[in-house]
Amino acid sequence: MKISEVPLAELARLLRCGDLLLRLTPFVARVASDVPSLAQDIALMYADFDICPPNVFADFHVQVWRDSGVRRWIKPQARFSFDGQPSFTGLPVAQAFAMLEWGLNWCVAAHSHQYLVIHAAVIEKNGKAVVLPAPPGSGKSTLCAGLVMKGWRLLSDELALYELQSGLIYGMARPISLKNQSIDIIKRLAPDAVMTAPVPDTTKGTIALLRPSVSSVMRVKEPVQATWIVLPNYVHGSPPILAPHSRARTFMLLAEQSFNYDTQGQNGFDAVTALVDRTQCYQFTYSSLDDAQRVFDNLLQGQV
Protein backbone atom coordinates (compact mmCIF):
# COMPACT_ATOMS: atom_id res chain seq x y z
CA MET A 1 0.00 0.00 0.00
CA LYS A 2 1.24 3.49 -0.81
CA ILE A 3 1.31 6.40 1.61
CA SER A 4 -1.05 8.26 -0.74
CA GLU A 5 -3.66 5.56 -0.16
CA VAL A 6 -3.67 6.04 3.60
CA PRO A 7 -6.08 8.69 4.98
CA LEU A 8 -4.22 11.48 6.77
CA ALA A 9 -5.94 10.80 10.09
CA GLU A 10 -4.83 7.18 9.94
CA LEU A 11 -1.29 8.22 9.03
CA ALA A 12 -1.19 10.53 12.03
CA ARG A 13 -2.46 7.74 14.26
CA LEU A 14 0.17 5.31 12.98
CA LEU A 15 2.83 7.91 13.67
CA ARG A 16 1.65 8.56 17.21
CA CYS A 17 1.70 4.84 17.98
CA GLY A 18 5.05 4.35 16.32
CA ASP A 19 3.49 1.92 13.87
CA LEU A 20 4.37 3.66 10.60
CA LEU A 21 6.71 1.33 8.72
CA LEU A 22 8.10 3.27 5.78
CA ARG A 23 9.80 1.31 3.02
CA LEU A 24 12.93 3.26 2.04
CA THR A 25 14.34 0.63 -0.29
CA PRO A 26 16.69 -1.04 0.52
CA PHE A 27 15.75 -0.24 4.14
CA VAL A 28 12.66 -0.13 6.32
CA ALA A 29 12.22 2.61 8.92
CA ARG A 30 9.72 2.54 11.79
CA VAL A 31 8.73 6.14 12.44
CA ALA A 32 7.06 7.57 15.52
CA SER A 33 6.07 11.17 16.12
CA ASP A 34 3.63 13.37 18.01
CA VAL A 35 4.22 16.38 15.75
CA PRO A 36 0.99 16.89 13.75
CA SER A 37 2.64 18.67 10.79
CA LEU A 38 4.96 15.72 10.30
CA ALA A 39 2.11 13.50 9.16
CA GLN A 40 1.24 16.07 6.50
CA ASP A 41 4.83 16.42 5.33
CA ILE A 42 5.27 12.66 5.09
CA ALA A 43 1.96 12.36 3.20
CA LEU A 44 3.18 14.94 0.71
CA MET A 45 6.83 14.01 0.28
CA TYR A 46 6.53 10.24 0.54
CA ALA A 47 3.21 9.90 -1.26
CA ASP A 48 4.56 7.33 -3.74
CA PHE A 49 6.45 5.26 -1.19
CA ASP A 50 5.14 2.00 0.26
CA ILE A 51 4.25 1.27 3.85
CA CYS A 52 5.02 -2.20 5.11
CA PRO A 53 2.71 -4.60 6.87
CA PRO A 54 2.96 -4.52 10.66
CA ASN A 55 5.61 -6.53 12.50
CA VAL A 56 8.19 -6.68 9.75
CA PHE A 57 11.82 -6.22 10.71
CA ALA A 58 12.70 -2.52 10.70
CA ASP A 59 16.30 -1.48 10.08
CA PHE A 60 15.90 1.77 12.00
CA HIS A 61 13.52 2.90 14.72
CA VAL A 62 13.33 6.68 14.63
CA GLN A 63 11.25 9.13 16.61
CA VAL A 64 10.54 12.83 16.50
CA TRP A 65 9.01 13.83 19.83
CA ARG A 66 7.97 17.22 21.04
CA ASP A 67 9.83 18.44 24.11
CA SER A 68 7.69 18.36 27.20
CA GLY A 69 7.22 20.96 29.91
CA VAL A 70 7.41 24.65 29.24
CA ARG A 71 8.93 24.09 25.79
CA ARG A 72 5.66 22.51 24.69
CA TRP A 73 4.02 25.93 24.41
CA ILE A 74 6.76 28.53 24.43
CA LYS A 75 8.86 28.24 21.26
CA PRO A 76 7.90 24.56 20.93
CA GLN A 77 10.77 22.25 20.13
CA ALA A 78 11.08 18.72 18.91
CA ARG A 79 13.91 16.25 19.12
CA PHE A 80 15.07 13.38 16.95
CA SER A 81 15.67 10.03 18.66
CA PHE A 82 17.27 6.90 17.35
CA ASP A 83 15.69 3.87 19.03
CA GLY A 84 14.81 5.89 22.09
CA GLN A 85 18.13 7.68 22.38
CA PRO A 86 17.57 11.41 21.82
CA SER A 87 19.93 13.66 19.95
CA PHE A 88 21.33 16.51 21.98
CA THR A 89 19.89 19.28 19.89
CA GLY A 90 16.23 20.06 19.98
CA LEU A 91 14.99 22.16 17.09
CA PRO A 92 11.85 24.26 16.51
CA VAL A 93 8.83 22.08 15.74
CA ALA A 94 8.57 23.66 12.28
CA GLN A 95 11.81 21.86 11.36
CA ALA A 96 10.48 18.44 12.32
CA PHE A 97 10.44 17.03 8.79
CA ALA A 98 13.92 18.32 7.97
CA MET A 99 15.10 16.81 11.24
CA LEU A 100 13.56 13.46 10.31
CA GLU A 101 15.37 13.55 6.97
CA TRP A 102 18.73 14.37 8.54
CA GLY A 103 18.15 11.72 11.17
CA LEU A 104 17.37 9.07 8.57
CA ASN A 105 20.49 10.06 6.64
CA TRP A 106 22.53 9.57 9.78
CA CYS A 107 20.99 6.15 10.44
CA VAL A 108 21.88 4.90 6.99
CA ALA A 109 25.33 6.48 6.87
CA ALA A 110 26.39 5.24 10.31
CA HIS A 111 25.14 1.66 10.18
CA SER A 112 25.16 0.34 6.62
CA HIS A 113 28.62 -1.02 6.03
CA GLN A 114 27.39 -3.45 3.42
CA TYR A 115 27.78 -0.35 1.25
CA LEU A 116 30.40 2.30 0.85
CA VAL A 117 28.11 5.22 1.66
CA ILE A 118 29.21 8.25 -0.34
CA HIS A 119 27.92 11.76 0.22
CA ALA A 120 26.96 12.30 -3.40
CA ALA A 121 24.05 12.85 -5.72
CA VAL A 122 23.43 10.14 -8.30
CA ILE A 123 21.26 10.62 -11.40
CA GLU A 124 20.58 8.49 -14.44
CA LYS A 125 19.27 8.92 -17.97
CA ASN A 126 19.18 6.51 -20.92
CA GLY A 127 20.99 3.89 -18.89
CA LYS A 128 23.96 6.17 -18.11
CA ALA A 129 24.64 7.47 -14.62
CA VAL A 130 26.46 10.43 -13.13
CA VAL A 131 27.83 10.53 -9.59
CA LEU A 132 28.16 14.04 -8.15
CA PRO A 133 30.19 13.98 -4.95
CA ALA A 134 30.53 17.29 -3.27
CA PRO A 135 31.24 18.94 0.02
CA PRO A 136 28.48 21.23 1.30
CA GLY A 137 28.14 24.50 -0.55
CA SER A 138 29.14 23.25 -3.99
CA GLY A 139 25.63 23.54 -5.37
CA LYS A 140 25.20 19.78 -5.71
CA SER A 141 21.60 19.65 -4.52
CA THR A 142 20.48 22.52 -6.73
CA LEU A 143 22.17 20.96 -9.74
CA CYS A 144 20.71 17.57 -8.91
CA ALA A 145 17.21 19.00 -8.47
CA GLY A 146 17.49 20.97 -11.70
CA LEU A 147 18.47 17.93 -13.73
CA VAL A 148 15.85 15.70 -12.10
CA MET A 149 13.15 18.24 -12.96
CA LYS A 150 14.30 17.97 -16.58
CA GLY A 151 14.00 14.22 -16.98
CA TRP A 152 16.95 12.63 -15.21
CA ARG A 153 16.06 9.82 -12.81
CA LEU A 154 16.93 10.52 -9.18
CA LEU A 155 18.73 7.82 -7.27
CA SER A 156 20.01 10.01 -4.48
CA ASP A 157 20.69 13.57 -3.48
CA GLU A 158 22.70 12.80 -0.34
CA LEU A 159 23.58 9.14 0.03
CA ALA A 160 24.99 7.03 -2.78
CA LEU A 161 25.04 3.37 -1.72
CA TYR A 162 27.98 1.78 -3.48
CA GLU A 163 27.89 -2.00 -3.34
CA LEU A 164 31.56 -2.99 -3.09
CA GLN A 165 31.51 -6.36 -4.78
CA SER A 166 29.28 -5.59 -7.74
CA GLY A 167 30.30 -1.96 -8.21
CA LEU A 168 26.62 -1.07 -8.57
CA ILE A 169 25.22 2.05 -6.96
CA TYR A 170 21.83 2.12 -5.26
CA GLY A 171 19.80 5.11 -4.14
CA MET A 172 16.66 5.63 -2.10
CA ALA A 173 15.05 8.32 -4.31
CA ARG A 174 14.22 10.38 -1.24
CA PRO A 175 13.28 14.08 -1.17
CA ILE A 176 15.96 16.56 -2.23
CA SER A 177 16.80 19.29 0.26
CA LEU A 178 17.10 22.80 -1.12
CA LYS A 179 18.17 25.95 0.63
CA ASN A 180 17.81 29.67 0.33
CA GLN A 181 17.91 30.90 -3.29
CA SER A 182 17.83 27.38 -4.69
CA ILE A 183 14.22 27.09 -3.59
CA ASP A 184 13.14 29.94 -5.87
CA ILE A 185 15.42 28.83 -8.69
CA ILE A 186 13.84 25.40 -8.80
CA LYS A 187 10.33 26.82 -8.45
CA ARG A 188 10.96 29.00 -11.49
CA LEU A 189 12.51 26.14 -13.43
CA ALA A 190 9.69 23.73 -12.62
CA PRO A 191 6.51 25.45 -11.43
CA ASP A 192 4.84 22.05 -10.94
CA ALA A 193 7.49 20.86 -8.53
CA VAL A 194 6.05 19.71 -5.21
CA MET A 195 7.84 21.10 -2.17
CA THR A 196 7.31 21.48 1.55
CA ALA A 197 6.64 25.03 2.71
CA PRO A 198 10.00 26.77 3.21
CA VAL A 199 11.19 26.63 6.80
CA PRO A 200 13.30 29.62 7.80
CA ASP A 201 16.07 29.96 10.39
CA THR A 202 17.53 26.53 10.34
CA THR A 203 21.30 26.23 10.79
CA LYS A 204 21.53 25.96 7.01
CA GLY A 205 19.28 28.95 6.31
CA THR A 206 15.83 28.52 4.80
CA ILE A 207 15.12 24.94 3.82
CA ALA A 208 12.53 23.26 1.66
CA LEU A 209 12.29 19.65 0.54
CA LEU A 210 11.48 18.69 -3.02
CA ARG A 211 9.41 15.62 -3.80
CA PRO A 212 11.15 13.15 -6.13
CA SER A 213 9.46 12.30 -9.43
CA VAL A 214 7.09 9.34 -9.43
CA SER A 215 9.19 7.49 -11.98
CA SER A 216 12.29 7.85 -9.78
CA VAL A 217 10.42 6.29 -6.89
CA MET A 218 8.95 3.53 -9.07
CA ARG A 219 12.42 2.55 -10.25
CA VAL A 220 14.17 2.76 -6.88
CA LYS A 221 15.13 -0.90 -6.98
CA GLU A 222 17.21 -0.41 -10.14
CA PRO A 223 20.86 0.28 -9.37
CA VAL A 224 23.29 1.87 -11.84
CA GLN A 225 26.83 1.44 -13.02
CA ALA A 226 28.48 4.88 -12.91
CA THR A 227 29.68 6.31 -16.23
CA TRP A 228 30.84 9.72 -15.12
CA ILE A 229 31.94 11.35 -11.89
CA VAL A 230 31.31 15.08 -12.01
CA LEU A 231 32.40 17.44 -9.24
CA PRO A 232 29.97 20.37 -9.26
CA ASN A 233 31.44 23.80 -8.64
CA TYR A 234 28.97 26.65 -8.58
CA VAL A 235 30.63 29.98 -9.40
CA HIS A 236 28.41 33.03 -9.75
CA GLY A 237 28.32 34.30 -13.34
CA SER A 238 30.56 31.61 -14.73
CA PRO A 239 30.06 30.07 -18.18
CA PRO A 240 29.76 26.26 -18.15
CA ILE A 241 33.17 24.57 -18.07
CA LEU A 242 33.48 20.79 -18.03
CA ALA A 243 37.14 20.07 -17.37
CA PRO A 244 38.80 16.66 -17.00
CA HIS A 245 39.82 16.12 -13.39
CA SER A 246 42.73 14.17 -11.96
CA ARG A 247 41.59 10.64 -11.13
CA ALA A 248 43.78 10.60 -8.05
CA ARG A 249 42.19 13.80 -6.78
CA THR A 250 38.74 12.43 -7.58
CA PHE A 251 39.68 9.33 -5.61
CA MET A 252 40.61 11.40 -2.56
CA LEU A 253 37.43 13.45 -2.80
CA LEU A 254 35.27 10.32 -3.00
CA ALA A 255 37.07 8.82 -0.03
CA GLU A 256 36.74 12.03 1.98
CA GLN A 257 33.08 12.30 1.09
CA SER A 258 32.38 8.71 2.16
CA PHE A 259 31.01 8.22 5.63
CA ASN A 260 32.52 4.79 6.10
CA TYR A 261 35.58 4.67 3.84
CA ASP A 262 37.83 4.00 6.80
CA THR A 263 35.68 1.10 8.04
CA GLN A 264 35.90 -0.62 4.67
CA GLY A 265 39.69 -0.85 4.86
CA GLN A 266 41.42 -2.40 1.85
CA ASN A 267 38.06 -3.20 0.22
CA GLY A 268 37.17 0.48 0.35
CA PHE A 269 40.43 1.43 -1.36
CA ASP A 270 39.87 -1.20 -4.05
CA ALA A 271 36.25 -0.16 -4.54
CA VAL A 272 37.03 3.53 -5.02
CA THR A 273 39.91 2.61 -7.33
CA ALA A 274 37.53 0.50 -9.44
CA LEU A 275 34.97 3.30 -9.52
CA VAL A 276 37.51 5.87 -10.64
CA ASP A 277 39.04 3.42 -13.14
CA ARG A 278 35.82 2.80 -15.00
CA THR A 279 34.47 6.36 -15.13
CA GLN A 280 35.39 9.64 -16.74
CA CYS A 281 36.13 12.25 -14.09
CA TYR A 282 35.28 15.92 -14.57
CA GLN A 283 34.93 19.10 -12.66
CA PHE A 284 31.92 21.15 -13.74
CA THR A 285 31.96 24.90 -13.13
CA TYR A 286 28.65 26.59 -13.82
CA SER A 287 26.21 29.30 -12.80
CA SER A 288 23.06 28.48 -14.77
CA LEU A 289 20.89 25.39 -14.64
CA ASP A 290 20.00 25.81 -18.32
CA ASP A 291 23.70 25.62 -19.17
CA ALA A 292 24.02 22.58 -16.94
CA GLN A 293 21.14 20.80 -18.61
CA ARG A 294 22.71 21.35 -22.03
CA VAL A 295 26.14 20.17 -20.97
CA PHE A 296 24.78 17.04 -19.32
CA ASP A 297 22.71 16.21 -22.39
CA ASN A 298 25.84 16.66 -24.51
CA LEU A 299 27.64 14.30 -22.17
CA LEU A 300 24.90 11.74 -22.74
CA GLN A 301 25.26 12.01 -26.48
CA GLY A 302 29.00 11.65 -26.36
CA GLN A 303 29.65 15.23 -27.36
CA VAL A 304 31.94 16.67 -24.74
Q: Which residues bind other proteins (CB under 8 A)?
A: 28, 55-59, 61, 80, 82-85, 87-89, 103, 106, 109-114, 119, 246-249, 251-252, 255-259, 261-266, 269-270, 273, 276-277
| Minimum CB–partner distance for residue 83 and other proteins (Å) | 5
| Minimum CB–partner distance for residue 9 and other proteins (Å) | 26
| DSSP-based three-state secondary structure for 101 | helix
| Minimum CB–partner distance for residue 44 and other proteins (Å) | 26
| Minimum CB–partner distance for residue 252 and other proteins (Å) | 5
Please, which residue, 5 or 270, has the CB nearer to other proteins? 270
| Minimum CB–partner distance for residue 270 and other proteins (Å) | 7
Please, which residue, 55 or 303, has the CB nearer to other proteins? 55
Rounded Cα distance, 301 and 304, in Å: 8
Rounded Cα distance, 135 and 126, in Å: 27
Q: Give the strand pairing for 128-133 and 226-234.
A: parallel
303 φ/ψ angles, rounded to the nearest 5 degrees: -105, 95
Please, which residue, 21 or 208, has the CB nearer to other proteins? 21
Please, which residue, 83 or 184, has the CB nearer to other proteins? 83
| DSSP-based three-state secondary structure for 265 | helix
Q: Taking the CB of residue 142, how many other CB atoms lie within 10 A of it?
A: 23
Please, which residue, 214 or 248, has the CB nearer to other proteins? 248
Please, which residue, 56 or 214, has the CB nearer to other proteins? 56
| E-assigned strand segments in the chain | 20-24, 27-33, 60-66, 77-82, 85-92, 115-125, 128-133, 153-156, 159-163, 169-170, 176-179, 199-202, 205-210, 226-234, 241-244, 280-286
Q: How far is CA 7 from CA 10, 12, 47, 103, 252, in A?
A: 5, 9, 11, 25, 47
Contact 30, 20 (CB under 8 A): yes
| Minimum CB–partner distance for residue 266 and other proteins (Å) | 6
